[in-house]
Amino acid sequence: GQASFWWLGNLAVVSSFPVLPAVFLSVKKIFKGKLWYVFLIAPFVGLAFLGAHPQWTIYFLTAGGAYAIFLAWQKYSDTHSFGAVLRPALATLSAVVAGVLSAYPQLLYSFKFAHLSNRSGGVDYATAISNLAALPADLIRFVLPAFSLRHI
C-alpha cells in the first residue's frame, strides 16, 4: 500500500534492495556446491553498507541467514553429514564478513559518532505525548505515510 510506495521512493532504501536476491541466490548456489558465489555476496554487502540504509541491509542479511540455516538443516537431513553442512556455511559466513570488512571504514565512523546524534538520547512516550511531540495522527502516519487530517 502507501507505506511500500513511500519506501520505494527513498533512494537510501531502494539501493539496498539488490542485496536480498543476491544473498538468497548466492546462499542457494553455495549450498549446492558452487562456492565461487561467495564473490557475489561480499560486494553486495559492502556496497549496501556504504550506500544504503544500514537497517535494511541488516534485515536482508538476517533473512539470508535464516535461509542459510534452513538450507543447512535441509542438507544435513539429506546427507546426515556435518562436514557437508560446515563447508558451505563457513563459505557464506566468510563472504558476509568480507563484505562487512570492506565497509569497515564507513561503519567505524558511524559507530564512533552515533552517540553525538540528536537521536541518541531519546524521549519517553509520556514526555512526547505531553509536549505534543507525538500526536495520534503521527501513529497513523507510521502505517500510512500519506495520511493527513485534511483527508478526513
**Top-confidence residue, 15 or 109:** 109
Task: Note the pLDDT tens digit of each residue in 37-88.
Answer: 999 888 888 888 887 677 778 888 889 999 999 999 999 999 999 988 999 9
Per-residue pLDDT, 150? 67
Of residues 40, 10, 9, the one with CA closest to residue 27: 40
**d(C-alpha 6, C-alpha 13), whole Å:** 10
Q: What is the pLDDT of residues 117-150, one digit of tens each?
A: 666 666 666 776 676 666 677 777 767 767 776 6
pTM: 0.68
Residue with cell 552515533: 114
Task: Report the SS3 class of residue 33.
Answer: coil
pLDDT tens string 84-110: 899 999 999 999 999 989 988 888 888
| Helix residue ranges per DSSP H, the chain | 2-8, 11-14, 19-31, 38-51, 54-79, 82-102, 104-113, 125-130, 136-143
Report the share of the chain in percent with pLDDT over 90: 28
